[in-house]
Amino acid sequence: ELPKSVWEWAERTARATQHSVKQVLVDSLSAIMPPPLDDVPDELREELAQLEMKTDADLWAITRQRLSPKLLNQYDHLLEKNRRNTLTPKEQSRLEQLRKNVERLVLMRARAFVLLQWRGYRLPTVGELEKRFVQTARK
């Protein structure tokens, strides 16, 4: 059940766009909701979906998570060795593990930012994020 004014708007829009009322409503909801997790790796989908239940403070904390400098240096070193095709099998395995950690961190942070924006927060600009990153790296 929808309020009469919403239904009438949907009907007018459907006629104007030559779509069904259902399609108009689905498209409208899709435009304002966080994107679905269809393209996310299966092993991360549930964890990312659970972020929707987190508090705003928890989401902001997730946006500030970083790899430790030690792990970041290790990852960079292994990426360079991989570029030169000089990785041992053990290093290849470690690089894959670190890559999964980085992928998880990036997806968690990105989803947290999307949810915060959806909840009405202003997100930091790229410049603000870079400044924060430099300040954090110096600590």
Looking at beta carbons, which pairs linking 102-111 to residues 24 or more positions away fall under 8 Å?
102/67, 102/75, 103/41, 103/44, 104/44, 104/47, 105/65, 105/66, 105/67, 107/40, 107/44, 107/48, 108/47, 108/48, 108/51, 108/62, 108/65, 109/62, 109/63, 109/65, 111/34, 111/48, 111/51
pLDDT by 10s per residue, the chain, length 139: 889 999 999 999 999 999 999 999 998 888 777 878 888 889 899 999 999 999 999 999 999 998 899 999 999 999 999 999 999 999 999 999 999 999 999 999 999 999 999 999 998 888 887 787 666 655 5
